[in-house]
Structure 1
């Protein structure tokens, strides 16, 4: 198994179906519960274990998810309220080394829960026109539609849950 991409790399959708959008929305809704379930069973030693060689620890992954999904939620709101907003990028690798990423994970679990509750309330009411609204991401040449970002963050949550599962299952083996 590829520990870096245990569920495979993200594949950018060129279009989407209503069923895919429903699943992505459900993934956003259920992610905080799944994250809490899997991390609740981990010891401090497991939280401080990298999911792969030269990878982040589970603790860093949880804090990263809070940072990343907070930025994603803000980007959604910008794209829904502005025409083709230029979004701000950030260096996630450097963010993962800041002192707040050594804190207990409870603060980030609460953040994820609150962000996802609001994000779900927002996206479940979006229509097809909304999902085609775009943002200007400086790292990509093409406009980024919200349906692509919804698919990305559905994948992102599942991707990092799989990283945490690697540590949880390695310790049980």
Structure 2
């Protein structure tokens, strides 16, 4: 039986760019967090919006789950990628009670470990497909696109929070 392949796989140059972005993401997150004064870290820009602290802890939860997702896609014959409600996690796990420095360290460690794995993969490992419970067909390049920019998006969110806190 042939493994299902992603119909819109990245070319090698695009994949390399996303792998670089993926590897550089933790440094962006750490820099954005370091710019936020202690008194602004748990401030929320609006009802229902996350504080910088919550963003950082979300990144740690997301990172640990993303590491499992890519391994499922690479190793299992018919991987099922289960979605989750990130807002429910933030509330249920009381993100403000979590240590944000520990969360950033976790992001850095998991990213470094997964980056090393991804850099060792042969070309034929890419393009594998699974199914995501919320979005349907989901492959290795979908994963890389999403997580290659995930920490960039959240570093920018922290920067927007800081700007809003300063302008309040």
Answer whether TM exceeds 0.5 for this pair.
yes
- 2:73 aligned with 1:65, yes or no? no
- 2:25 aligned with 1:31, yes or no? yes
**In structure 1, which of residues 115, 126, 131 is the aligned counterpart of residue 110 of structure 2?**
115
Task: Summarize the Cα distance change of 1:133–1:15 in structure 2 as closer, same or farther, 3 Å threshold.
Answer: closer
Q: How many residues align?
A: 160
Name the Cα RMSD after superposition.
Answer: 2.0
> 1:51 & 1:24 partners in 2: Cα distance?
30
TM-score, normalised relative to structure 2: 0.85
Residue equivalent to 1:83: 77
TM-score, normalised relative to structure 1: 0.83
Residue equivalent to 2:158: 164
Task: Summarize the Cα distance change of 1:40–1:16 in structure 2 as closer, same or farther, 3 Å threshold.
Answer: same
Which stretches of structure 1, 4 residues or more, deviate above 6 A after TM superposition?
A: none
Q: Which of the two has higher C-alpha Rg?
A: 2
> 2:70 & 2:142 partners in 1: Cα distance?
11
Gaps of 5+ in 1: 1-12
